[in-house]
Structure 1
Amino acid sequence: MEKRESNIDYEFLLRCLQSPADNELQQALTSWLQQASENSRIWQELTTLWELSGTAVAWDGIDVTGATKRFSDRLAQLHGYTMPFFRLRWLYLTAAACLVMIMVAIGFWPAKRQYQSAQWVTKATQENIDSVLLPDHSKVYLNRYAVIRYPIAFGASATREMTLDTGEAFFEVAGNPTQAFIVHSGNATVRVLGTSFNMRVSKANVVVTVVSGKVLLQGAGNQGMVLDAGWEGLLDPGVDTIGKRKADPNISAWKTGRLIFQDAAITTVFRELSRYYRRSIIYVNPKPIKLTSSFNVREEKLEDVLELLSAVLGDISYEYRGDTIYVRHRKIKI
């Protein structure tokens, strides 16, 4: 058998599969794929194994050490490559989805085992924005301090269900008319078949903003409300009521890295800047002023954006006190 190159970083490739929204990783992957035609073949094989994991069923009592050794031997046969044992074991312990993928790939799936319901994975973010590739290849982008729980396999179930415990997430749902995609959060339930939407969970309410397609937002004791693209629903969990309003155009700015203002009230601009930059901005003496043209922000420093606004509006000035920024019109002192 012809030996393949032995310097393949499989750990890197698996990270690429798990993090489709990591631009740096995906750019590195593109560069690696362009280096040799053999790389594309290896990537296709790993992608196929990953896709197979979506129909797998997890069970307790997996022999991690034995499975790791078998997978290492299998890779050696396929690629002429021996992955360091400790690196494979680390992959098993830190990526449950990869574990299922590996078990399916090597054919080590005992028919006589007592199968159990799919195991669940918890993904939590801290001071970072991250993403998750679900077993059905739906993508979930997690804002800072978000917690989501999902099964490592959906299998033949009639639904694809998960829970957003807290925080904010953007969902790009893979279309599947036979498996409804359902997100739970406390009393709130969002049901879709194939769409993209943003969901923000707080103690005060649950806000669902539809970017494409339609979703059904339901509470614990109501029939719910269908939301079309461009609209958002607000569920008050205390009284189990749902309100509806036009979508905030900057609801997913945390994901896109871009704010867009078109004929926006200056109070709205400062509120969105405060949320986007995570800085307290207090507009001391607000005026009913609107921007008369479009105003876009994309990864600029907050100080530069404020100076630009000052130049546009003329009489705006700022005072910085610790992490708080006070905004005033120059004729009135703080």
Structure 2
Amino acid sequence: MIEILSVTGPASVQDLGRLDQYRFGVGTSGAMDDVALRAGNILLGNDENAAGLEIPMMPFKLRFDRDMAFALTGADVDAEIAGRVIPPWWRSHAGAGDILTIKAMARGARSYLAFSGGIDVPMVLGSRSTQFRGEFGGWHGRPLQPGDVLPCTASTATIGELGVEPAEVTLARPNADPDETLVRVVVAGEYDGFDAATQELFWSSSWKITPQSNRYGYRLQGPAVKPSMPIEKRSHGIVPGVIQIPPNGQPIIQMRDAQTSGGYPKIAAVIRADLWRVGQARLGRMLRFEQTAYADALAAEAEMSAYLDRLRANVGLVEETRTCR
């Protein structure tokens, strides 16, 4: 088990989400940066859907009650355990009683902690992810608090230290401005309801992530983009990544805790292969959208899958080498 000693902000238990409950009006939840969570589980030899911790704010501190391997991925953070520095995108080993402290987040918006065997909270509607809106899943359906003791699946595997290249390095976008997060999107259902000048304004502008942003949605600030004529639609299905335009013309990107339906016009949608980039963009950072064809979106998905395949192969090779010694 692990005990939460101190926590800042809404840290939570997340896996890859409940992806088959939309017909019941239940959103996905799940890790905002699914690539980071998958990578942590790959490092540990876990099922990639094993539940871990999503930590959006620092400082954060926990205690291990027994020997256990863990992996730290996601945002670039300053962390240590028992006096040892833990680099980001790294797996390590904790002894019983060891305290892990994550002090600061130099870059990115969310850190992920995966544990050998995974966090063993009950499955709810096919997932262990916390659903804040419905107050279910995860640990009692709420953010973690000091004093929470979370069970972990027992694992007897002996795992040495190992690091991997962060996704943001391998999957970096060419020609991206270091002060912006460049996100590829495809046009959505009501795109043609915006005139050519407004469409160009949407593509050419930089958008600031406002403090009103969270796991439900990222509210952006920039020039108003409004349809040529008011578009009134009945609520209909939406998914994470959809970019809606409310009456004030300021875009909203639906994120992992998004509702399953809405009526605002949709101008575009973030491709799945880039949604993790949005999840790692912190409040106040600028986003810029790059129009992408469907075929290129599929190619980006293949590139992300190839990165994860390389991680699996490299970790497997290291373990095979150690076994043969």
Is this a same-fold pair by TM over 0.5? no
Flag the structure with higher helix content.
1
> What's the TM-score once normalised by structure 1's chain length?
0.24
TM-score under structure 2 length normalisation? 0.24
Larger Rg: 1
